[in-house]
Amino acid sequence: LCAVACVHGPPSGHLKMDLILWRHAEAESEGDEGEDIARPLTHRGEKQAARMAVWLERQLPDGLRVLASPARRAEQTARALGRKVKLRAELLPGGSPDELLTLAQWPDARSAVLVVGHQPLLGQTAARLLGLQAPDCAIRKGAVWWLRHRRRQGVEETILLAVRSPDFF
């Protein structure tokens, strides 16, 4: 769908890293101040997370690391996948793309990383990696954006491999 390429340093073989950004599914409306991180998924959100988890499970590579915001709605979304999840405060609302990319070890991790989190953080990260002029991309609730970084013959590229919405299952 989209690729951004730039030249960096000497050739380093055929290396790649996948970063999968999964926005939490639909959650209950905000309540009182301070309750944002405790908001659970709605019944519809639980279904969205389950549908996306089924699709992801068929696609995900071995050795995948799953990182999620400790906000209840993000944790519930991640747990729908049925894999070990590491909760990281850096992924809470208000986090930065730099923190997310450091946690994921982008672009040098030896395995794929799935990050379950929030807007605008995920959209800001996607926009940066794709070299977009807009400060962020709108990522729908429950949707997945799958990015790949690869190095071939001294050229580094970030490619958007897939965008999936739970509304199209």
This model's pTM is above 0.85: yes
Cα–chain center distance at 145:
6
Instruction: Give the residue ranges of the chain where pLDDT is below 50.
Output: 1-13
Please enumerate in sequence order all residues whose Cβ is within 8 A of that of 103, keeping only pairs 6 or more positions apart, or say none: 67, 88, 90, 91, 115
Looking at residue 32, its pLDDT comes to: 54
Looking at residue 4, its pLDDT comes to: 40
How many CB atoms lie under 10 A from the CB of residue 157?
Answer: 14
Please enumerate in sequence order all residues whose Cβ is within 8 A of that of 65, keeping only pairs 6 or more positions apart, or say none: 86, 109, 111, 112, 113, 114
Two structure tokens written together for 110: 């030896």
Looking at residue 34, its pLDDT comes to: 59
Contact 81, 53 (CB under 8 A): yes
Looking at residue 131, its pLDDT comes to: 95
The SS3 assignment for 114 reads: strand
